[in-house]
Amino acid sequence: MVAQSHYGEVTDGILALLTEIVGARNVLTGDERENYARDEMPIPKPALPDVVVKPKDTDSVVKILKLANEKNIPVTPRGGGTGLSGGAVPIYEGIVLSVERMNRILEIDEDNFVATVEPGATLSDLYQAVEEHGLYYPLYPGEMSATIGGNVATNAGGMKAVKYGVTRHFVVGLEAVLPTGETIQTGGKFVKCSTGYDLTQLIIGSEGTLAVITKVMLRLIPPPGRREILFVPFNSLHDAIKSVPDIFKERVLPVGIEFMERDIINMVEQYTGKEIPLHGYEAFLMIIVEADSEDEIHQISSQIGEVCLNHGAVDVFIPGSERAKRRLLESREKFYHVIQHFGMTDIADVVVPCSRIADFVELAKGIANEYRIPLVAYGHAGDGNVHLHHMSQETDKAEDKIKEILTKIYEVGVSLGGTISGEHGLGFAKKGYLHMAADKDKLELMKRVKRAFDPNNIMNPGKIFDLE
């Protein structure tokens, strides 16, 4: 995919050494590599790696990285491949290091409320294991087949960030292998740590450019007693989003507040063939509330409902059964695939301060209108994270226009106090916009950090920024 590179070739000799490390079945050089040539981001041309290796343990990761570093071969770590910025796409070819076989839940420590997992365990594996122990991992990044390693590497957010924050708020420790082959342990089964630089937090969100994450320790909490979902229709998006700051002013804290418009609701209905309640209105808030008791949840839901009605909400729909709640949430989880089905050309996930979200969405829509390219907007109204998708059947013709639109949209986001990406990372898709959110000194410091971890720039090169 990248025309020229100074990297070494994956020779037969290197393939033989990789085979010694992980066994022949776990070294892929044939057509199966196509499954590792892209992630969920829409890209016109996949990037085929020379080889995919699937280690089973940390020792094997150490050996693979030492070999790659010595032979100057780029290594792209890969989890579930559900990323939306091309982070797991091997743009310099070389080795894809897939952690899919390192997928064990190693321990659920009920005394310390900590889960220790291998990086290839999926979110759904984690939820199930934690639930079996009567505990709770409250984060809800929308894709259950994503791995915990991928969640950590992208600092995944999702629908419950208003109350619980994002992945970095739940990671208490890591094991990671550096590109030069050393294994480091960071943090531990404790919340407090004031012992030198916080390498855990540095590796979180580094998108596989600093190290391969080989173990993750996650903080758990007791489960809430009750969960409620409010689905609130409005006659305008402006009214819907303007309700959000006033919900917080009531001093109640929902778990998440999602916003969406009629166009996406209609697309979901067409895609699934199932009707969504109150689907005829212009805009909606989906508000997730968790609390310990029936009384508490009732009180929070009433307060939120009242604020929405004061802002022109047409109704407040509360699904009566667990099944109906699940159905609503599943509709929301489907947004990305539905939009993909109807011709999305790209995805932006700008984050702005919550109080500026209405301004941001209106300005972004105004920009897209100028270019006459439809823009679908939805997202996490409660934490300021907006997903924007341009819809065009004529991808090639629209490409330049879309770059211009995105540049303008990012400019607006940054000028409102926000930044380029709230949860999907930069990968290679958004690296060209990083300078808009990070000044020269900050960018140079990031590059110095990268060089300190990875002197030969073999770890996921060409992601987040280019090293010149």
Binding stretches for ligand FAD (CB under 6 A): 39-40, 76-84, 87-88, 99, 119, 141-143, 146-147, 149-151, 153-154, 156-158, 207-208, 212-213, 336-337, 423-424, 460, 463
CB of 351 to ligand FAD, least distance (A): 11
Pairing of strands 95-98, 51-53: parallel
Angle at 245 between CA 240 and CA 251, to 5 degrees: 125
The CB-nearest residue to ligand FAD is 150
CB of 280 to ligand FAD, least distance (A): 26
CA atoms of 118 and 218, how far apart (whole Å): 11
DSSP per residue, 205-268: T-TTSS-EEEEEEEE-BPPPSEEEEEEEEES-HHHHHHHHHHHHHTT---SEEEEEEHHHHHHH
In the DSSP assignment, the letter for residue 345 is -
Longest CA–CA span in the chain (Å) reads 70
CA atoms of 142 and 385, how far apart (whole Å): 14
CB of 57 to ligand FAD, least distance (A): 13
CB of 178 to ligand FAD, least distance (A): 11
Tell me whether residue 208 or residue 413 sits nearer to ligand FAD (CB atom).
208
Tell me whether residue 7 or residue 281 sits nearer to ligand FAD (CB atom).
7
Residue 147 CB: number of other CB atoms within 10 A? Answer: 29
CB of 335 to ligand FAD, least distance (A): 7
CB of 48 to ligand FAD, least distance (A): 16
CA atoms of 156 and 80, how far apart (whole Å): 13
CB of 314 to ligand FAD, least distance (A): 27
Tokens 């292998």, located at residue: 177
CB of 288 to ligand FAD, least distance (A): 13
Tell me whether residue 301 or residue 385 sits nearer to ligand FAD (CB atom).
385
Strand order in the sheet with 385-390: 226-234, 283-291, 256-261, 375-380, 385-390
CB of 169 to ligand FAD, least distance (A): 13
Tell me whether residue 150 or residue 461 sits nearer to ligand FAD (CB atom).
150
- Contact between 308 and 245 under an 8 Å Cβ cutoff? The reply is no
CB of 143 to ligand FAD, least distance (A): 4
Strand order in the sheet with 212-219: 105-109, 114-117, 212-219, 171-177, 183-187
Beta bridge partners of 465: none
First to last CA, the chain: 18
Tokens 């981001």, located at residue: 41
Tell me whether residue 209 or residue 301 sits nearer to ligand FAD (CB atom).
209
CA atoms of 272 and 260, how far apart (whole Å): 17
Tell me whether residue 152 or residue 313 sits nearer to ligand FAD (CB atom).
152
Tell me whether residue 150 or residue 233 sits nearer to ligand FAD (CB atom).
150
CA atoms of 267 and 443, how far apart (whole Å): 40
- Contact between 203 and 155 under an 8 Å Cβ cutoff? The reply is no
CA atoms of 241 and 308, how far apart (whole Å): 10
Tell me whether residue 76 or residue 243 sits nearer to ligand FAD (CB atom).
76
CB of 120 to ligand FAD, least distance (A): 7
Tell me whether residue 125 or residue 143 sits nearer to ligand FAD (CB atom).
143
CA atoms of 73 and 94, how far apart (whole Å): 6
Tell me whether residue 137 or residue 281 sits nearer to ligand FAD (CB atom).
137
Tell me whether residue 129 or residue 307 sits nearer to ligand FAD (CB atom).
129
